[in-house]
Amino acid sequence: MCGIVGYIGDKKAQPILLNSLGKLEYRGYDSCGIAIANNDIEVFKDLVRVKALTESLKPHDGKAGIGHTRWATHGEPSKINAHPHTDCKGKIAVVHNGTINNFLQLREMLAAEGHNIVSETDTEVIPHLIEKYYDGDFEKAVTRAVKDIDGAYTMIAMMAGEHKLIAARQESPLIIGVGDRENFLASDVPALLDYTSRVIYLEDGDIAVVTASDVKITHDGVPIEREEQKISWNIEDAQKGGYEHFMLKEIHEQPKVIRDTLTDFLSNSKPVVELAGVEGSTLENMIIIGCGTSYHAGLVGKYVIEELLDIPVRVEMADEFNYSGQASPGTQAIVITQSGETRDALKAIQRLKAKGCRVIAITNVIGSTVTRVADRVIYMRAGPEISVAASKTFTAELISLYWLALPYARVDTARLDKLVRDIRQLPVKVQQVLDNEDKIAAFAKKLAKFDNVFYIGKGVNYPVALEGALKIKEISYIHAEGYAAGELKHGPFSLLGEKTPVVAVVTRDATYEAIVTSIKEIKARRSPVFAFVGEDDDSTGDLADYVFKIPGVDPFLSPIVNSVALQLLAYFTAKERGCPIDFPRNLAKSVTVE
């Protein structure tokens, strides 16, 4: 879970590497470094963010280099553990994303052969392996070293005197950016947007030799062509656009995201059944798999599909499914991964396909790994999401799940037509929430004083409570738990009191009376209650301490507007507490390790 970049061309590498690394800090930010080549290799790294490294360096004239921003897996954050890492002589430098499973065995072997490995990282064995196998042919040495490595990795290697970068990919993303007399390497698209929109996505087992004028790719030693693609995002999409934080910008982008995601599905001239993009699918025997926020979206999807299609749906965390989950041949599976590179989700797809299941992937990134391994792909048109805490991609995932289910809905025509009409109105409803963010900010000033909080919901809004709790713990560092409202009685009630507030998501559906009863029980324990209720709810306000009214929507669609309100609550709470909102401690955006 790190960001890596490479550059080779006719320009000075240093500013390009540092600028590109800054665009990848959401992938890891506990340390960073660059290596630049002239006749020798110079390495500059430290236990700092990219901006601080940039300010500390003198200009360098080298026109080839590699860079890295780290999320620690092996060894604590420190200058010595920061990348790039080099061999004994400092002639070979490597940056790496992923984990090497057999690094201890390799480390012991190399140490026995006289290699001096100084860091705690798994990465450092790579330049030493390349050094071990180097006999005058750099490319051959890298290819031989890769054969010794077991794990999921992407690496870029550079050697003094060699005017090339050599990259290898295995179960971790890597993109080549194609330029004019220059070429780039990066682990994600935002790093490249300032320089090129032409990219090549490497695949597992690929080794790429990149010079200023050429890209050569081999797979299992055989030359191969990978299709060049055009990035649809632009530079402005990956910038703050005047907002204080990327997260706030991305929350405010959600009306547009909903419209853009619906554009692929919605057409006034076609019947809805033609718009799901899963022709020939019956959507029976369903399993939905995701991680974190995507798992919560899957839980909403369970309620949606079960109600509309009247079939049972199972939702699994990808990591748990990979070790204990079962699926029968013919099962229809939906795997949700916003990045398309989530390690646990990709492993789940391998397991599902091995069992004869058909996999539909919901993702945000065209050309990502999941788009090549799934049977069908549904794209959410959210654009780049830079903030580590997901907001607009969660909304886009929900829209995708609703529209995936609607063509197969076993409900009467009037009900279906109303749902379609109401979905069209969601951008307006979400904008109304955003227009009233000052009131939510006022709630946040109250909530920020607490160190523990419960979130509750029922029915289709139970997953919204889970997601709300995840958001606030991610960025404000308040300990938060999400529960189905009735579950508080089965243990958590012992923690209720004046110092433990409860955020309640209340919807006028079949669960309404039950959650109102739960709020009464909570108030009897003196816990402050922050209630998010429908605009037609005039009763809950008499029970709760703080009430925010959500614009009126069909209760079945309420998770979308409710989620936006809870995202704002988390954002303003974190801001009140002075937290680094876009880069919360210990977290990274794209989880590409187990």
Classify 242-424 by CATH class.
alpha beta
Question: With 0-12 CB in 10 A as exposed, 13-18 as middle and 19+ as buried, what is 281?
Answer: middle
Q: Compare 344 and 267 and report the one with higher pLDDT.
A: 344
Using alpha carbons, select from 378, 397, 387, 405 the residue that is nearest to residue 559.
Answer: 397
Among this protein's residues, is 589 annotated catalytic?
yes
Six-digit token string for 135: 């006999």
Residue 352 has pLDDT above 90, yes or no: yes
* Mean pLDDT across 546-561: 94
The pLDDT, as a whole number, for residue 264 is 67
**Distance in angstroms (rounded) separating the CA atoms of residues 276 and 292:** 25
* Mean pLDDT across 354-380: 89
**Distance in angstroms (rounded) separating the CA atoms of residues 281 and 289:** 18
**Distance in angstroms (rounded) separating the CA atoms of residues 65 and 43:** 10
* Mean pLDDT across 58-86: 88
**Distance in angstroms (rounded) separating the CA atoms of residues 196 and 525:** 59
Q: Where are the domains of the chain?
A: 3-235, 242-424, 429-579
Domain 3-235 fold is: Glutamine Phosphoribosylpyrophosphate, subunit 1, domain 1 (3.60.20)
* Mean pLDDT across 75-86: 87
pLDDT digits (tens, 9 = 90+) for 429-476: 999 999 999 999 999 999 999 999 999 999 999 999 999 999 999 999
Which residue's entry shows tokens 């050599």?
166
Using alpha carbons, select from 350, 341, 342 the residue that is nearest to residue 375.
Answer: 350
pLDDT digits (tens, 9 = 90+) for 521-542: 999 999 999 999 998 887 877 8
Among this protein's residues, is 2 annotated catalytic?
yes
pLDDT digits (tens, 9 = 90+) for 99-114: 888 989 999 999 999 9
Domains 242-424 and 429-579 share a fold: yes
Task: Name the pTM for this structure.
Answer: 0.78
Residue 368 has pLDDT above 90, yes or no: no
Using alpha carbons, select from 455, 528, 456 the residue that is nearest to residue 486.
Answer: 456
**Is-contact 199 20, C-beta < 8 A?**
no
* Mean pLDDT across 173-199: 92
Domain 429-579 fold is: Rossmann fold (3.40.50)
The pLDDT, as a whole number, for residue 235 is 61
Which residue's entry shows tokens 């037609």?
536
Residues 2, 32, 291, 579: which is the catalytic one?
A: 2
**Distance in angstroms (rounded) separating the CA atoms of residues 358 and 352:** 8
The residue type at 389: A
Average predicted confidence (pLDDT) for the chain: 89
Residue 119's region, left for phi above 0, alpha for psi from -120 to 50, else beta, is beta
Residues 23, 302, 458, 589: which is the catalytic one?
A: 589
